[in-house]
Structure 1
Amino acid sequence: MESYKPTQTQEARFMKSRPCGHDKQVLLDCRVPARLEAIETLADAVNEVLPDRDLAFSVNLCLEELITNVIVHGLKGAADRFMQVQLIISDDWLEILLRDDAPRFDPFMQAPEPNLDLDVNDRPIGGLGVHMVKKLMDEVHADYDGTGNVIVLRKRLPHQTAQ
């Protein structure tokens, strides 16, 4: 397993389009610096590998929310750290993997559920972004592998019909 420790370069490294199993293909595999400004570079890469604008928008929204949470809450702004992001596509699914080395945290189980009945001005901060991720994706899962958190998001792809 690749080390996620900082290297000399502070820029994201991208690898694109490599086979991964029978019907799977890695569209994007990148090491992203734990800095908020790196999210824009990642979003550009996602837009490049996902030509479906709606799907790319959903993926970018989810990644921005989760990565921001990792940077701000998990890593407490430590800019010398990195996260690994992968986009893997199959005939039926897009799978997004986000790995970090922050302390153990499962946003899908531990983040507070937002009270959507409250007026936006009366809502406490927290939980709305994770709620949005759950609504945009078909499956969400978080685990801790002993070295860091692994978040897996899955989005079912519409079947293409022959014309």
Structure 2
Amino acid sequence: MRHVATQGAGELSGQYCFTIETDPAELERLIDAVAEIGEKENWSPDLVFRVHLALEELGLNIINYGYDEGVHEIECRVTSQPEEVTIEVWDDGRPFDPLHDAPEADVSSTLEDRPVGGQGVHLVRTMMDQFRYQRVSGRNHVTLVSRRVG
């Protein structure tokens, strides 16, 4: 995992950039590093949990479904500001807009009756304040925003 940490000059925000390979162990290291950022930036435990879950779901979807073979890179930028946290994820996998291409989550059945899988994107959408996707220059770009207060 490559990591570049930058602190905004004269701003009350921290920006942290990471590049990982499409490997579950690398993803786990990224999640741990972002949790450390949360501690440093005084995120609430709830925000740390939501960011952890979002990165895990998005990262595993990219690793498991984004490529046919080979090792590829996932880029992640975390921007921590006093009012909100923004997580951006880029990958060059096959085009996949989680807002439109993900299967509809079954929220009407009991947990026991729901099929395994297919709930991750729904969870991320409901736990984050903003969830945006765009395909730019052959890359998927997901942006997640969560308020830090209230």
Question: Do the structures match in fold with TM over 0.5?
Answer: yes
Partner of 1:14: 3
> Percent identical across equivalent pairs?
29
TM-score where L is the length of structure 1: 0.81
Matches within 5 A, 1:2-151: 12-19=1-8, 24-26=13-15, 28-51=16-39, 52=43, 53-76=45-68, 78-151=69-142
CA contact (8 A) 2:47 2:148 kept: no
- 1:113-158, CA deviations, whole angstroms, 9 ceiling, x for partnerless residues? 1121213343234431000001110000010002210000000111
State whether residues 18 and 77 of structure 2, in contact with CA within 8 Å, keep that contact through their aligned partners in structure 1.
Answer: yes
- Distance verdict in 2 for CA 1:140–1:32, change over 3 Å: same
Separation (CA, whole Å) in 1 of partners of 2:131 and 2:109: 25
Distance 1:13 1:39, change over 3 A: same
> 2-side partners of 1:17 and 1:146: how far apart?
25
Structure 1 residues 73 and 20: alpha-carbon distance in aligned structure 2, compared to 1, 3 A threshold = farther
**CA distance in structure 2 between the partners assigned to 1:70 and 1:150 by the alignment:** 11
What TM-score results when the alignment is normalised by the length of structure 2? 0.87
Contact 2:133 2:142 in 1 (8 A): yes
- Contact 1:111 1:126 (8 Å CA) reproduced: no
Structure 2: distance between partners of 1:72 and 1:147: 19
Q: Deviations over 1:24-65 (max 9, x none)?
A: 430x21001101111221121011111133222211110000
Deviation of 1:88 after TM superposition, in Å, equals: 0.5
> Between Structure 1 and Structure 2, whose CA radius of gyration is higher?
1
> Gapped runs of 5+ residues in structure 1?
1-11
The alignment yields a C-alpha RMSD, in angstroms, of 2.0
